């Protein structure tokens, strides 16, 4: 039976091939006053069914799943359930996967070696409509994008928006970070 208090909580669906991780996450999330786990799965096919039925606000997905790729699941979720925010929780190095999962449609990436506080912070951040990646990866991605060509690259311009950025106290790296974040938010 669902209480009135539970109805006000944001729902989280877990997708991880390790039962121990799902149990740990369930205990962690259900201790939060504003979050509740509404379902779980060890693989993509059951996750898609479970998410369709439970309509969570957030899905926490591992990259390595029992029967498929978590990145492919993220792409499927973006198409079939675009309102579900996806947070990746993985043992794989964030430096290698963060950009790929963001491009696939995830809103954040947390490594399993992080603290429980960071996991909860990441969930709240993506529920606010923001991205969550570590500062280290943000800096690396910003550096790459600031040297790249494209809409997020730092380049001279005469338009007034860019001129106002240049006249402010923002560095080229800050401007590139802004373009990078706008790019991923609009994808």
The domain locations on the chain are: 4-133, 137-186
Give dist(CA 110, CA 113) in Å, integer: 8
Look at residue 173 and give its three-state secondary structure: helix
Whole-angstrom distance, CA of residue 84 vs CA of residue 25: 18
Axis-axis angle for helices 172-186, 135-147 (nearest 10): 100
Distances in whole angstroms, Cα of residue 110 to Cα of each of 2, 74, 166, 173, 186: 30, 15, 33, 23, 21
Q: Which CATH number fits domain 4-133: 3.40.50.2300, 3.40.50.1820, 2.60.40.1940, 2.60.40.10?
A: 3.40.50.2300
pLDDT < 70: residue spans in the chain: 1-5, 144-187
Paired tokens of 120: 């909860």
pLDDT recorded at residue 176: 60
pTM of the model: 0.75
Please tell me the predicted confidence (pLDDT) of residue 167: 43
pLDDT digits (tens, 9 = 90+) for 12-62: 999 999 999 999 999 999 999 999 999 999 999 999 999 999 999 999 999
* Sheet of strand 10-15: strand arrangement: 35-41, 10-15, 58-61, 85-90, 108-111
């Amino acid at each position: 039976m669902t209480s009135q208090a539970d109805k006000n909580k944001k729902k989280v669906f877990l997708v991880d091939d390790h039962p121990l991780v799902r149990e740990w996450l369930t205990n962690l999330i259900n201790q939060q006053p504003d979050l509740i786990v509404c379902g779980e799965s060890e693989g993509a096919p059951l996750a898609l069914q479970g998410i369709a039925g439970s309509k969570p606000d957030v899905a926490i997905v591992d990259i390595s799943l029992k029967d498929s790729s978590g990145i492919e699941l993220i792409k499927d979720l973006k198409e079939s359930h675009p309102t579900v925010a996806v947070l990746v929780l993985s043992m794989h190095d964030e430096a290698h996967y963060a950009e790929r999962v963001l491009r696939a449609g995830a809103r954040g990436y947390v490594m399993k070696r992080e603290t429980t506080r960071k996991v909860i912070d990441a969930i709240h951040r993506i529920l606010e409509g923001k991205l969550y990646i570590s500062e280290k990866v943000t800096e690396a991605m910003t550096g790459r994008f600031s040297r790249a060509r494209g809409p997020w690259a730092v380049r001279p311009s005469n338009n007034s928006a860019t001129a106002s950025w240049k006249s402010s106290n923002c560095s080229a790296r800050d401007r590139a970070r802004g373009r990078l974040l706008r790019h991923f938010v609009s994808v």
